[in-house]
Structure 1
């Protein structure tokens, strides 16, 4: 018997020494996928204007060889490179026909005649869609992990599992596949898959397990609650800024412009009130105040509220393009416009109400 091992024997030895993925890690990967892809579905809904559900994650361990035997039709692959937080690669894979339908919807079609191949224009459009979807997914992952998760711009390519090599994954290497059900109204009823090496999947899941936090599951469906999400996001970001301001007193200079405004028509009583505030300014500066961004309001009868369901639209008392209200501690103090800063919602202040107006509103 020869003392030299064959390549097959070497591969078998390496596999026998590999670390198996645990049930906890599989559950964690499913939860992370459910939350991040739920956020991505919301983004796709906003882009297409059509109801999108990406739900029911199923985690399994397989190999590229088995994938090639099972999935024989052409797919579109999206390489997602994580630059910070969970450094590494994962791949999002969807059917070519689904990608064509999505780009057709984006370009004003109804999805019934999507074409047969991704030309340069469609590929560019799909790349932008995936960039926004993966960006929002990275933001939700940042909140789960408690650390910044950033990604490189996604790269798109055609995938035929029999021929395509993903990163350095060999055909007999174990990989983790997370399959999601993807439904776009009555147009698409398919699946989308996330693929990563087993080693990276274990590292990925361990990152969250080590934080000791339980991921909060998103609802399985996407409904029109963007108004609430903007408000909640703004509240969270402002809380972070207020905490930072408490730790760094130099940040107080940000509020000085409000104190420099002059109001020549204020009566003596209002001026005396300002002096009192100024005398105690040092005591007040470290008091945290909640900031709420209000897009608008609406009134409904109880009957109408009980009839609300998934996909219902609530019309607000504002027009598209109207300024939003900046409310501090329940009091309207400014108006502004919604902006996006590094994948987060924000508000650019365009009008600050005078202190005189605030005082009169309070007395009223």
Structure 2
């Protein structure tokens, strides 16, 4: 089996093969680059929300990068994962059709489970996954997907309901099914770089069926006035992702994706962090002062744990403001 297990470098090469043409040739009649860009934005919003959920569950700072997206056959992407890995799949019941899938590997399962059970995320190798670790990590992934579905409901302005997530642990690459998802069409694969505290930097894979991803993109294009409902309906398949969307009361005349831009987000402000002992904290009392090695000119603004800007703290009369001095690129790590 070891001869067939692919390395992280080989997984990287899967995406490198699509660097110039992210859409596989047989999928070009299903998706175009404009739709793929919008799918990336949808994934960014949803996984940003999921990262916030993971951060709250683990009590760790979680940073998620902007996704790299390709469209390919599912056997190609699943064949690139080194086993064991965990597939968390949800089917949409209401509002959307299709499915959404998260894939994480064995080490990530162990680290997330260890933190959830009160550990520090330091796991020994070889990793041993028991029912306890599997249950804890599955619950984390379930909550991430649930919060992602909520973000999608806000984005599209419709009610969305999902079936109970289905967890599948793939143990043996030789005997693994490389087509575990209920579709024979290409799939949209979004790869996110994720950093959890100072513990791990890894990648999560989010996989969506191509029909659902395409129709999500067209729905937002229609809301933005970039295409009309008639053309969108003609292009939509029998698996139209927005159920009864011609009867939806969501406004379709919002310019520049105003519906997406109206989604509420939590903006966090961070000055920095210092390391101390639990004993130091236990000695604190009212009136004490702490020396910190930071200036008021480096306030960091974060959304879902992702740095978006740097600013300077300013006080005028009784009002405190932050003057933006730098905007981060959305691909910042």
Question: For the superposition of Structure 1 and Structure 2, which TM-score range results when normalised by the shorter chain?
Answer: 0.5 to 0.7
- 1:107 deviates by 0.7
Specify which structure has the bigger relative contact order, considering alpha-carbon pairs within 8 angstroms and separated by 6 or more residues: 2
1:309 matches 2:300: yes
Separation in 1 of the partners of 2:28 and 2:300? 48
Structure number with the higher helix fraction is: 1
Matched residue, 1:75: 85
1:46 matches 2:56: yes
- Partner residue of 1:184 out of 173, 187, 196: 196
Matched residue, 1:199: 211
Separation in 2 of the partners of 1:112 and 1:82? 35
* TM-score in terms of structure 1 length: 0.53
Alpha-carbon RMSD across the aligned residues, in angstroms, is 3.2
1:131 matches 2:142: yes
- 1:217 deviates by 10
Matched residue, 2:240: none
- Partner residue of 1:60 out of 53, 66, 70: 70
Separation in 1 of the partners of 2:169 and 2:36? 28
Matched residue, 1:145: 156
Larger radius of gyration: 1
Unpaired runs of at least 5, structure 1 = 1-14, 226-302, 312-364
Separation in 1 of the partners of 2:194 and 2:64? 5
- Between 192-201 and 25-34, the greater mean CA deviation after superposition: 192-201
**Is the 1:53–1:222 Cα contact (8 Å) retained in structure 2?**
no
Matched residue, 2:168: 157
* TM-score in terms of structure 2 length: 0.58
**Is the 1:39–1:136 Cα contact (8 Å) retained in structure 2?**
yes
- 1:136 deviates by 1.5
Matched residue, 1:120: 131
Q: Count matched residues.
A: 218
Question: Kindly tell me: are residues 123 and 73 of structure 1, through their superposed partners in 2, closer, same or farther at Cα, counting changes over 3 Å?
Answer: closer
- 1:197 deviates by 2.3
Q: Any idea what SS the aligned residue of 1:210 has?
A: helix
Unpaired runs of at least 5, structure 2 = 1-24, 225-256, 271-293, 303-333
1:211 matches 2:223: yes
Question: Kindly tell me: are residues 174 and 207 of structure 1, through their superposed partners in 2, closer, same or farther at Cα, counting changes over 3 Å?
Answer: same
Matched residue, 1:168: 182
Residue by residue over 1:257-303, the C-alpha shift from the partner in whole angstroms, topping out at 9 and shown as x without a partner, is: xxxxxxxxxxxxxxxxxxxxxxxxxxxxxxxxxxxxxxxxxxxxxx9
Matched residue, 2:279: none
**Is the 1:90–1:195 Cα contact (8 Å) retained in structure 2?**
yes
